[in-house]
Amino acid sequence: AQKITQTQPGMFVQEKEAVTLDCTYDTSDPSYGLFWYKQPSSGEMIFLIYQGSYDQQNATEGRYSLNFQKARKSANLVISASQLGDSAMYFCAMRGRDGGFKTIFGAGTRLFVKA
């Protein structure tokens, strides 16, 4: 069965610095997708970035990049040049045949950006 683990309940980062949010996963399926979502205090879920298990390069979307280490089964989110508006909850998520193609979520990491 699929499993997503986020071990950092909370993280602090200084404005303009980079921060890495950890995510490890487990699956027996060789084909899967990994996603990161942002949930601001207003509550909506915002898709940030996707990494496919067969993608050769790490995904990037603007200030977001995904440090994908397949052998370690990790998919850490890197946010560069943090902004105050980045303060939010961040969820790592996974989808694959092993999980019946539903998307499952980790417990989340709350990021606080300090001015």
Give me the residues that bind another protein (CB under 8 A), please: 31, 33, 35, 37, 43-47, 50, 52, 89, 91, 93, 95-97, 100-108
**Per the structure block, which two tokens stand in for 1?**
């069965």
What minimum distance in Å lies between the beta carbon of 31 and another protein? Answer: 8
What minimum distance in Å lies between the beta carbon of 95 and another protein? Answer: 7
Q: Burial of 109 by CB count in 10 Å (0-12 exposed, 13-18 middle, 19+ buried)?
A: buried
What minimum distance in Å lies between the beta carbon of 49 and another protein? Answer: 9
CA distance 57 to 52: 9
Q: Which is nearer to another protein, 41 or 115 (CB)?
A: 41
Q: Burial of 55 by CB count in 10 Å (0-12 exposed, 13-18 middle, 19+ buried)?
A: middle
CB 88 within 8 A of CB 13: no
Q: Which is nearer to another protein, 15 or 40 (CB)?
A: 40
Q: Which is nearer to another protein, 15 or 26 (CB)?
A: 26
